[in-house]
Amino acid sequence: MHKNAGLIPFLKSLQFRLILSIILMAVLPTCIVAATILSSYEARALSIRESEVKSQTKILANQIAASEFMSGSNSTSDTVQTQIGMLTTIYDGRILIVDANLRVMYDTYHMDEGKTIISEEVVRGMKGEEFTTYDAENLYIELAVPIINPTDATNTIVGVLVTSVSTNNIQLNASYLQQITNIIVVLVITAIGFFGVLLSIRLVTPFKKLSDGIAAVQSGHIDGELMVKDYTETILICERFNEMMSKMKTMDESRQEFVSNVSHELKTPLTSMKVLADSINSMQGAPLELYQEFMSDITNEIERETKIINDLLSLVKMDKTASALNVSLVHMNDLIEQIMKRLQPIADQQKVRLVMESFRPVSAEVDEVKITLAITNLIENAIKYNKNNGEGWVHVSLNADHKYFYVKVEDNGMGMPEESLEHIYERFYRVDKSHSREIGGTGLGLAITRNAISMHKGAIKVHSELNEGTTFDVRIPLNYIV
């Protein structure tokens, strides 16, 4: 019963897919937004830091230029000192003052004083450019600003001010922000996952109800109709299911009816035989002629029983799918002629005139045996249910167009009442039961005929008037349609 338990069925379930979709739809945007905010924070913080340091460095460069420092005085002025102190403490930075000969005049770390440096930023600074680089690996921004002599009208560059500031605290803030975002993302995933599970359970419940309902119908707990009204889809499934159930019920009823009809039909000759045998047995010293008469009656009943069984077997064969057809190219004119030849003795016996009319030669792809059976039944009926006073006739005609061939079987016999026409193809249906039985009918002939024709994707129509006659029109495709 629990063949639906297990990992693979769960992964394939609607519930799992709903949970996954809800989580993905919520988590992906959250992660993207978090990552975007983080990276834009970092870029913005760096650019703010850069422009702040740049303006401070420029102020310092101007103050240095205005002081005596570049002209050889060893001591920096107070304002310069304050500015240097501010830059180095606030931004955790290092400041180098380089003179026009690229010699370090001042270093806040006092490590490189007196040394000559030829780096790109210093060289560019000496050319009057303001140069900034960001070292992402070692986390610092380096700036070079030219120191221009304010008293000189030609703007002589007397040195370069190089500032390096650490961006460590920006990184620290970024990683703190990252941690907070991670926590938020985890919380969001958990909350949405929880919500997803609840929602998916709710959404899937109607389908569970549906499956339970079907199981209940299957086990016979529910007799009425199945209905789960939660979704349009479940209503539709229920409607289809109910339709299917009622079709199956009808099929089951018709099968039961068929079985009871078959048993009844098979029992009738047996009962007659038993009555005949019992009565002859109970007669003591009955004459031989009586025995012979009773035995001949018993033989008739055996023949009847055999006919019913043969008809039933033909019908069962016809109930199979069309793939059971044994199709070949058949010359229909010859086939119908042969059938009529075979039926001529019965027609003679009934004093019925048989006439055939062929409008053109017709060859068709059909199952010869089944089509023979179908046409034989129609012509045999036309002879059987006819007048036997010598006025009866049966006309059989064959015609064709580019697509179909047409067989018409027309008689001027007893005809049928209109209300019977819709039933004549039913198994064991007879218009006049006793008369049909008298003339050897089983009620299966037209059922066999119709099945054979529909297996060929053909059609059969009947027109009949009581005491006037009957016409059967058959239409079958010339080429077999799979």
Name the site residues for ligand ADP (rule: CB under 6 A).
377, 381-382, 385, 411, 413-416, 424, 429-432, 436, 441-447, 470
Find the shortest distance in angstroms from Cβ 392 to ligand ADP.
11
CA distance 423 to 418: 10
By C-beta, is 280 or 421 nearer to ligand ADP?
Answer: 421
Find the shortest distance in angstroms from Cβ 385 to ligand ADP.
3
CA distance 282 to 286: 9
CA distance 290 to 223: 58
Find the shortest distance in angstroms from Cβ 471 to ligand ADP.
9
Find the shortest distance in angstroms from Cβ 231 to ligand ADP.
48
CA distance 462 to 391: 22
By C-beta, is 9 or 417 nearer to ligand ADP?
Answer: 417
Q: From 444, 454, 448, select the one nearest 475 (Cα to Cα).
A: 454
CA distance 268 to 298: 12
Take residue 94 and report the two structure tokens written for it: 């290092």
CA distance 403 to 422: 27
Query: Which amino acid does the sequence have at 455?
Result: M
By C-beta, is 105 or 312 nearer to ligand ADP?
Answer: 312
By C-beta, is 83 or 470 nearer to ligand ADP?
Answer: 470
Find the shortest distance in angstroms from Cβ 295 to ligand ADP.
26
Find the shortest distance in angstroms from Cβ 307 to ligand ADP.
9
Distance between first and last Cα of the chain: 40
Q: From 308, 436, 446, select the one nearest 384 (Cα to Cα).
A: 436
Q: From 408, 409, 397, select the one nearest 356 (Cα to Cα).
A: 397
By C-beta, is 95 or 371 nearer to ligand ADP?
Answer: 371
By C-beta, is 96 or 424 nearer to ligand ADP?
Answer: 424
Find the shortest distance in angstroms from Cβ 432 to ligand ADP.
6
By C-beta, is 225 or 357 nearer to ligand ADP?
Answer: 357
Residue 143, beta-bridge partner list: 132, 163
Query: 469 and 412 in contact (C-beta within 8 Å)?
Result: yes
